[in-house]
Amino acid sequence: MDEKDNLITLVDEKGNETLYKILFTFESDDYGKSYILLIPADSQPEEQVDVLAFSFDPDENGEANDADLHDIESDEEWEMVEGVLDTFLNDEKMQ
């Protein structure tokens, strides 16, 4: 995978564009959705950053653009995503 394939640009409500790196994606059988977790593209490996999470509708190649991203709305769904992120961050084999 080319490094640029691992990037996505998000546009905020003011039209500002920000480049993010895809941390990882996963699917949840419980919610029947795919999820994508993003970090700022210019962040450093040991830097503490906010992770953005969305559910998404992947295309036939498993990819998405910013129009395919959806906010996570329920507390239960957020707890599941946070659990997956915690597992990722605490398991050296997954990084």
Is residue 45 a part of any domain in this protein? Answer: yes
In a domain, residue 1? The reply is: no
Is residue 22 domain-resident?
Answer: yes
Has residue 69 been placed in a domain?
yes
- What is d(CA 71, CA 13) in angstroms, rounded to the nearest whole number? 14
Region 58-80 average pLDDT: 81
DSSP 3-state helix, strand, coil percentages of the chain (rounded to 5)? 25, 35, 40
Range of the domain at 27: 7-92
Q: Is 75 helix (H, G, I), strand (E, B) or coil?
A: helix
Domain annotation covers residue 2: no
Hey, is 6 helix, strand or coil?
helix
Alpha-helical runs (H) found in 1-95: 75-90
pLDDT at 1: 45
Is there a domain that residue 81 lies in? yes
- Give the model's pLDDT for residue 80: 97
**Residue located via tokens 């993010």:** 20
32, pLDDT greater than 50: yes
What was the pLDDT predicted at 91? 78
